[in-house]
Amino acid sequence: MRSPELRLDIATVCLSGTLDDKLAAAAAAGFDGVEIFENDLLVSTWAPREIRARCGDLGLSIDLYQPFRDFEAVPPDVFEANLRRAERKFDVMQQLGADTMLVCSSVSPDAVDDDDLAAEQLHELASRAGERGIRIAYEALAWGRFVNTYEHSWRIVRRGDHPALGLCLDSFHVLSKGSDIAGIRVIPGAKIFFLQLADAPKLRMDVLQWSRHHRLFPGQGAFDLSTFVGTVAATGYAGPLSLEVFNDVFRQSDPARTAADAMRSLVILREDVSNTGPVQVRERMRVADLSTVSAPAGYAFVELAAPAPAGILAAMGFVHIGQHNTRPIQLWQQGDARVAVRAGVSERIGALGVATSEPLVAAQRAKRLLASGMSDVDYDDPAVTAPDGVGIVFVRPEGDWMADFTPPEPGMVVNTCGITGIDHISLTEPFDDFDQIALFYRAALGLEPEPEAEFAAPFGLIRSRSASDRDRRIRIALNVATLRRGHWAPAVLDPQHIAFTSDDVVTTAMAMRALGAPLLDIPGNYYDDLDARFALPPERLDLLRSYSLLYDRDEHGEFLHFYTHMLGSRVFFEVVQRIDGYAGYGVVNSPVRMAAHRQFRLANAPARE
Amino acid sequence: MRSPELRLDIATVCLSGTLDDKLAAAAAAGFDGVEIFENDLLVSTWAPREIRARCGDLGLSIDLYQPFRDFEAVPPDVFEANLRRAERKFDVMQQLGADTMLVCSSVSPDAVDDDDLAAEQLHELASRAGERGIRIAYEALAWGRFVNTYEHSWRIVRRGDHPALGLCLDSFHVLSKGSDIAGIRVIPGAKIFFLQLADAPKLRMDVLQWSRHHRLFPGQGAFDLSTFVGTVAATGYAGPLSLEVFNDVFRQSDPARTAADAMRSLVILREDVSNTGPVQVRERMRVADLSTVSAPAGYAFVELAAPAPAGILAAMGFVHIGQHNTRPIQLWQQGDARVAVRAGVSERIGALGVATSEPLVAAQRAKRLLASGMSDVDYDDPAVTAPDGVGIVFVRPEGDWMADFTPPEPGMVVNTCGITGIDHISLTEPFDDFDQIALFYRAALGLEPEPEAEFAAPFGLIRSRSASDRDRRIRIALNVATLRRGHWAPAVLDPQHIAFTSDDVVTTAMAMRALGAPLLDIPGNYYDDLDARFALPPERLDLLRSYSLLYDRDEHGEFLHFYTHMLGSRVFFEVVQRIDGYAGYGVVNSPVRMAAHRQFRLANAPARE
């Protein structure tokens, strides 16, 4: 059997705006069809026939009208009223040209716990629908009064036994209940009329609130959507993959951007299913032109723009090893850590130089994941721009990219302070794009997520999510303020930093202080607490205190680290030493660092050359 | 026994910033003391002795050091380490001059379920604390591993039997578990060392997340704090009432404002306890200078500033009945609805004229609730400014305030459209201040909360909370966008409206249309859905459709209403008819109204004269 072409849909409820905004955004992002959420239709000034025409113009089909609620297993008078209500909606659907209606399992106090009655009434509904060329897709809401598992909805559909009666499966309702999805394999694909996809974070809360506010696009949450989709597709289901995501942020964000993020999620999900799903579905899910990622070999360099950073870099033992042949970029190096300093733009980490054996393939992959081209091309190597605006330059590990740089005059003093390489970079992202940006970096660079942390900083909560490749050559830590509003929070906006590695952070700190590097002082209260918590040997604690080193410990080993002041108002450096495979980022110490940065800023002008 | 003076405290964790910000805010709001949250101390550059000195300068005592975690019911080696840890914290407390330490019930995997062991180890801790003049206040966390109810913590404290060992009661931990607080009455007041207060909304979610993110100040949530405080105070507890509120918004908002809101909450809570609490505590809780509220007699007028509203008011049948003698304010009237139109300021509802038999007393009460004076005094009557900037002018119901207005020349045409009065006013408030503003209006005007609604508007979620007096003379609906960020949402910012009453909204709409009033058209899809939902008689549905009337129904009766266009970009009018005691505000129709307003704005310039 030749598979029909895979269709990708999005529910209008995922997107902000009125129906015209939503349809335009869905079409622009390349979706094939939409689910029309009833309220979007109700408030529209377009009559159903006009909506149909508009969708036609945009190349969108209307694949589902939803939701129809509280229909089944009710007393005869309510049943009559519900049939009347359904007929009115069938009128609308025929004008829309929509052939499938979603019927959610009842939450009504009128309903009774009687599967036979539910099946009988759904059969009658399907008969009437069928006469008008409409199909009924019955869905078990996770909070349905009597029917709240897909197994139960399937029993009722089977008992209802009508060609126009089938199932709607929604990953949220199935996976939020922790249902065993193996049972899906006994459902004939032809009886699955519709497949709705949503991811979600693991939250222990009321499932209805969880569903209505916290759904995410695939890959952004904690659900195993790949296995779910593979299982459903293996039944022979040939309908659309349709995103139905209720999310407070998406409801009020630019729908064009949300739709593009949604499409990226589907691309990544399809790749996953095509790699690891049941054999018979892999080809169908394959994404054309999406090459496999090469494992990154590490950071070749990080490009930085900051107010006059040369003084700080020199005081940290870096050496100016070259000047770009055509651009105002200086290359500074110490050990394997290279910082490309760019003049004349606002303070930020501008680009990551990622070493990979196949730069061109890696860049093509990133573009297929909806990265834009690098807007301001300064490198001959393939480059893209991540959704947060950071450039990614893919270079060969052999370092031939360095041929672009002319070495400076000889005789320069080399103050090596023991920095050996780049451990990670840390970026602060806007809350509304945080999940998508994290997903992009993981998918584009082949990283795996690490445990998420949330902590109370002096000016509000910060969530931190990091990712790294298996060999820990590329680590990226992404941070987000879970709220940032109003004029109060005086802290720097969206800080970013580069963390360098050292094999002996004490010696490195000593050497840097001797060279006059602007290192951050940590208050004494912190060390009194370290003493209380860890009972470190007194001489070790004194060493930490003397050099303002921070300390953490995990189940693997220990972590020592220190920071510089801000270069201007947002970028700074860190030096870290990982002992015995410590895996974290010292997040527990972040509030101390933030308060110290602020204290310094209140007391002094930022450190400048 | 003479009661000691009541002390009011706040935990530093309630407030944003570093310790210096927090202490300054607490002192400025008039608190007597603070709980110092450990992390605030750790990140501070002030040594404990400096913090003590700073608090002394500010007139704040340090009444609690918190929290000390995971202490009790552990194996001997862990116990030794924990005692060492505690001694280090006692060192800090002695330098701070703090005499009470909060010890939370353990969540540690090291702990065992052994009350005797817990009591024995807490006894040892208390002995060591007692030698240094320190007391241990043991608190059952709602998510404590073995000890998670106040009854259980009390059994352990009693068994621990040491003068320096007592309880900390926290309203969140007690009330979130649904515990019966009657059991508090058997605890001797002298064994309650500390009382922490927090309110919270009713949420069905993991209790730890609920506690850490969603606590509120008293009166803002769903807990009965009045009974709780009355019960604790009746034991003879003589320590502070201390607010400990973990809230994501407060963590990042101006601490001076948060502290003032916190103090207002305590004032209102104390009034409630002093009115309804056990007799022996009433006098102690009494708030000096807070007079009882007079029941409002209704809206005397609403003051409105808008671009050239005279044309719309005239087209709605209002008559210009007078001109203010000294200010650029016109008075328009129809039935008992009066709108004071003010020239020359930005578009908004500027003030509410509230009729009351004791204007001066009502204004004094509002000021004691931390309303500021009315910044721009245009009325001779007592006036204040609510926290959202809306003025409240208290006037006598007899209408002598109208003497300020000179009637216009006679012979004016009176186009009465059947408006009889003002039903409610509706304001959109900023999210961060929503709970406090709602609490202020309720407390200042003697209103009772009505059920809260949340709905999906085209550009994001809206929460709506209304309040009214018992006789439904003053109704205020407050709305908030639960998220509003970024540049997308094109809707008007912070809309406000005045809803007038009519006894026959169909006739009113007809009359207004005949006069050319700019009434809002409602799309046909809405009426098709009304038909499906309510099966109204066809001729009635046609009437609604013809005049763009919206419809709702509740358990009491029916609601008919319609809207005007925006006067400028945020203010509009509504006309409502309540049939058979309908109690709501037609919130279900709000998305339709919002989409229609937007559609009109896209298609036309705003309606102006």
pLDDT in tens, A194-246: 999 999 999 888 899 889 889 999 999 999 999 999 999 999 999 999 999 99
B36–chain A nearest CA distance, Å: 14
CA B55/CA B34 separation, integer angstroms: 9
| Residues paired with residue A481 on neighbouring β-strands, in sequence order | A462
Q: What is the pLDDT of residue B490?
A: 59
Q: What is the largest CA-CA distance in chain B?
A: 96
pLDDT of residue A412: 62
Are A120 and A71 in contact by the 8 Å Cβ rule? The answer is no
Q: What pLDDT, on a 0 to 100 scale, did the predictor assign at position B381?
A: 87
Question: Is B209 part of the contact surface with chain A (CB cutoff 8 Å)?
Answer: yes
Q: Which among B180, B177, B231 is positioned nearest to B200, based on CA atoms?
A: B177
Candidate from A18, A203, A205 with C-beta closest to B598: A18
* Non-local CB neighbours of A220 within 8 Å, separated by 6+ positions: A199, A265, A435, A436, A438, A439
Judge whether A429 and A437 are in contact, CB under 8 Å: yes
Report pLDDT for B482.
82
Q: Is A424 annotated as a binding residue?
A: yes
What topology does CATH give the domain A8-285? TIM Barrel (3.20.20)
Length of chain B: 609
Could you tell me the pLDDT band of residue A486, with boundaries at 50, 70 and 90? low
**Cβ–Cβ below 8 Å for A39 and B481:** no
Q: Which two tokens stand for residue B290?
A: 């807070």
- Return the closest-CA partner of residue B347 out of B498, B533, B477: B498
- In contact, B380 and B404? CB cutoff 8 Å: yes
Tell me the domain boundaries of chain A: 8-285, 298-603
Which one, of B369, B291, B258, lies nearest residue B29 by Cα? B258
Helix, strand, coil percentages for chain A (3-state, nearest 5): 35, 25, 40
Q: Name which residue leads in pLDDT, B264 or A400.
A: B264
Dihedral sign for Cα atoms in the order B109, B112, B116, B117: negative
What ipTM does this complex have? Answer: 0.90
Give the rounded distance of the alpha carbon of A85 from its chain centre: 40
Helices A255-276 & A434-445 angle (0-180, nearest 10): 40
Contact A523 B43 (CB under 8 A): yes
* For B41, nearest residue in chain A (alpha carbons): A525
Quick one: B403 exposed, middle or buried, by C-beta within 10 A (0-12, 13-18, 19+)?
A: exposed
**Res A394 pLDDT > 70:** yes
Q: Does B89 touch chain A (CB under 8 A)?
A: yes
Let me know if A233 is exposed, middle or buried by CB neighbors in 10 A (0-12, 13-18, 19+). buried
- Flag whether pLDDT at B575 surpasses 90: yes
**Contact map slice: A 442-471 vs B, CB within 8 A:** 456, 458-461
Between chains, do A488 and B44 touch, taking CB under 8 Å as contact?
no
Nearest to A303 by CA among A166, A401, A229: A401
User: What pLDDT score does A399 carry?
Assistant: 78
Helix (H, G, I), strand (E, B) or coil at A497: strand
Residue A63 sits at the vertex; the CA angle it makes with A58 and A68, to the nearest 5 degrees, is 125
> How many residues does this entry show for chain A?
609
Determine the residue of chain A that is closest to B18 in CA distance: A458
Residues B466-516: pLDDT tens digits? 999 999 999 999 999 887 666 666 555 789 999 999 999 999 999 999 999
CB B245 within 8 A of CB B198: yes
Test the A interface: residue of B69, B204, B252, B526 with most A CBs within 10 Å: B252
A414, burial (CB in 10 Å: exposed 0-12, middle 13-18, buried 19+)? exposed
Say if residue B344's pLDDT is above 90.
no
Q: How many helices (H) and strands (E) does chain A have?
A: 18, 26
Could you tell me what percent of chain B has a pLDDT over 90? 81
Q: Across residues B328-345, what is the average pLDDT?
A: 91
Superfamily of domain B298-603: 2,3-Dihydroxybiphenyl 1,2-Dioxygenase, domain 1 (3.10.180.10)
Q: Does B218 touch chain A (CB under 8 A)?
A: no
Q: Which residues contact B603 (CB under 8 A, 6 or more apart)?
A: none
- Which amino acid is located at A431 in the chain? F
Looking at residue A609, its pLDDT comes to 33
**What counts of helices (H) and strands (E) characterise chain B?**
18, 26
Residue B608 has pLDDT above 70, yes or no: no
Minimal Cβ distance to B85: which of A92, A533, A591 = A533
Partner residues linked to B151 by β-bridges:
none
A398 is in an annotated binding site: no
The whole-number pLDDT of residue A327 equals: 86
Beta bridge partners of B342: B305, B329
- Please tell me if residue A50 touches chain B, with a CB cutoff of 8 Å: no
Read off the pLDDT of residues A130-146 as tens digits, 9 standing for 90 and up. Answer: 999 999 999 999 999 99
pLDDT in tens, B26-51: 999 999 999 999 999 999 999 999 99
> A139 among the known binding-site residues?
yes
Which residues in A lie closer than 8 A to residue B203 (C-beta atoms)? Answer: 205-206, 209
Backbone CA torsion sign across A592, A598, A603, A608? positive
pLDDT at B609: 34
Mean predicted confidence (pLDDT) in A57-80:
98
A248, A460, A598 member nearest B482 (Cβ): A248
For residue B141, the distance in angstroms to the closest alpha carbon of chain A comes to: 18
User: How distant is the Cα of B449 from the closest Cα of chain A, in angstroms?
Assistant: 23
Cα separation, B589 vs B594, in Å, equals: 9
Residue A553's pLDDT is: 97
